[in-house]
Structure 1
Amino acid sequence: MRRRKGLSPEDRDLWSRVARTAVPLDPKRKGQAADLPQLSDLPPARPAASLSVSPASAAAASAAMPRFRIGQGAGTLPAQIARPSTPAERLAQAGLRMDAKTHRKMSQGRMMPEARLDLHGLTLSAAQPELMHFILSCQASGLRLVLVITGKGRGDHGPLPTRPGALRHQVPYWLHSPPLSAAVQQVTAAHYRHGGEGAYYVYLRRFK
């Protein structure tokens, strides 16, 4: 049904009565209702421009958004939103700096650590001096393979030590930083029989 243009006679009469009661802003102007513009004289409103998106832009935006379905597991997430790697995974990707045969035996849990340090439950400020004293003392005593226990933590995947499990992320950093880096030859996640990813094998350099 087409919309009728302009005002009906009843609407014009109503508008005229309302216009007679209007007070002009300029008191010097003494106009009548006839001086006021009629609604029918106003230009029609222009329709708002619709937002158009080209098919190429829509396709590019769709390709940039990763597809995700309800119930999709973390193992099937796209690479750009995959979970961060754990300290054990980063250590496994590091280069080998010791005898390959000895490293294989150590990784398989077929070598018994000669000493162990349990840092589980300690704060970072308390754990660092304990770790430094332990590593340097063990190297001075001629030990080669030691075990450092940190605990796995709960739901920690970030690199910053600000949550439970911070030691799990921080201990490898300390071991690869001075002064311990001069004493440490290789750091590897422990075999499950010695604590798994909640502990580290630390293979020490020979004391000079």
Structure 2
Amino acid sequence: MAKRDVAKPLTEADRAAWAAYASRVTPLAGRARPEPRPTPRRPAGDPPNPAPVKSQNTPGAPRRAAAGLAIGAHPPGLDSATWQRFRTGRMPPARRLDLHGHTTQRAFHALSHFLKVAHAEHARCVEVITGHGGPGGGVIRHELPHWLDRPDLRPLILAVAYPTPFNQGAVRLLLRRVRG
């Protein structure tokens, strides 16, 4: 069955079919049938849907990047040999941060401090362990890509990859080199 576009109103035929179906439904014991709500009618002169307003960037406004850090994507400017060593897990991490047992707020602050210290100490590869989380995947694991894409942390990170394809409860970060 095809999904209905929720932006389009129901046609008269759809309304009639729904009314015929709904009339056969009996309420649960002890409950009364709700009163039908009147459907609002538009005046004939009004357009059905106004045209969406397109956002226009002002000349002085900074543009946001189209995409953030993609896990497992080869970043531009990194040679293939280093990328292969990093992506396949043959580049050992200099430091590890385990975020198991942290609240979301504590995990973010620990990650931020960890990355800034590791970058200042000229660490090249670090590992952040989030764990797999519950059935929904875990809050920290879900938030990690957003945290890494923040303006204060994004300049420190060159690439992100899973240590192995089968372990998505941890990520390895390739930090940018300190120049100067």
Whether the aligned pair in 1 keeps the contact of 2:100 and 2:129 (CA below 8 Å) is yes
Whether the aligned pair in 1 keeps the contact of 2:131 and 2:169 (CA below 8 Å) is yes
**How many Å separate the matches in 2 of 1:180 and 1:103?**
20
Aligned length: 112
Whether the aligned pair in 1 keeps the contact of 2:74 and 2:159 (CA below 8 Å) is no
Counterpart residue identity of residue 118, structure 2: C
Counterpart residue identity of residue 187, structure 1: V
**How many Å separate the matches in 1 of 2:143 and 2:79?**
26
> Gaps (5+ residues) in structure 1?
1-61, 66-89, 158-164
**How many Å separate the matches in 2 of 1:95 and 1:115?**
22
Whether the aligned pair in 2 keeps the contact of 1:174 and 1:180 (CA below 8 Å) is yes
Please name the residue that 2:111 is paired with.
131
Please name the residue that 2:134 is paired with.
154
Q: 1:153 deviation in Å?
A: 1.1
* Alignment pair present for 1:197 and 2:168: yes
Whether the aligned pair in 2 keeps the contact of 1:120 and 1:151 (CA below 8 Å) is yes
Whether the aligned pair in 2 keeps the contact of 1:186 and 1:204 (CA below 8 Å) is yes
* Alignment pair present for 1:166 and 2:129: no
> Gaps (5+ residues) in structure 2?
4-69
* SS at structure 2 position matched to 1:190: coil
Q: 1:140 deviation in Å?
A: 0.6
What is the percentage of aligned positions where both structures have the same residue? 37
Please name the residue that 1:116 is paired with.
96
* Among 91, 96, 107, the residue aligned to 2:75: 96
**How many Å separate the matches in 1 of 2:136 and 2:71?**
17
Counterpart residue identity of residue 197, structure 1: Q
Q: 1:146 deviation in Å?
A: 0.3
Counterpart residue identity of residue 191, structure 1: T
Q: Which has the higher contact order (CA 8 A, sep 6+)?
A: 2
Counterpart residue identity of residue 106, structure 1: F
Q: Which has the larger radius of gyration?
A: 1
| Pairing 1:1-208 to 2, within 5 Å after superposition | 62=1, 64=2, 91-92=71-72, 94=73, 96-97=75-76, 98-156=78-136, 165-191=138-164, 196-208=167-179
* SS at structure 2 position matched to 1:91: coil
Q: 1:95 deviation in Å?
A: 5.1
Q: 1:91 deviation in Å?
A: 2.0
- TM-score, normalised to structure 2, is 0.57
Counterpart residue identity of residue 137, structure 1: V
**How many Å separate the matches in 1 of 2:82 and 2:74?**
15
Q: 1:187 deviation in Å?
A: 1.2
**How many Å separate the matches in 1 of 2:171 and 2:147?**
12
- TM-score, normalised to structure 1, is 0.49
* SS at structure 1 position matched to 2:96: strand
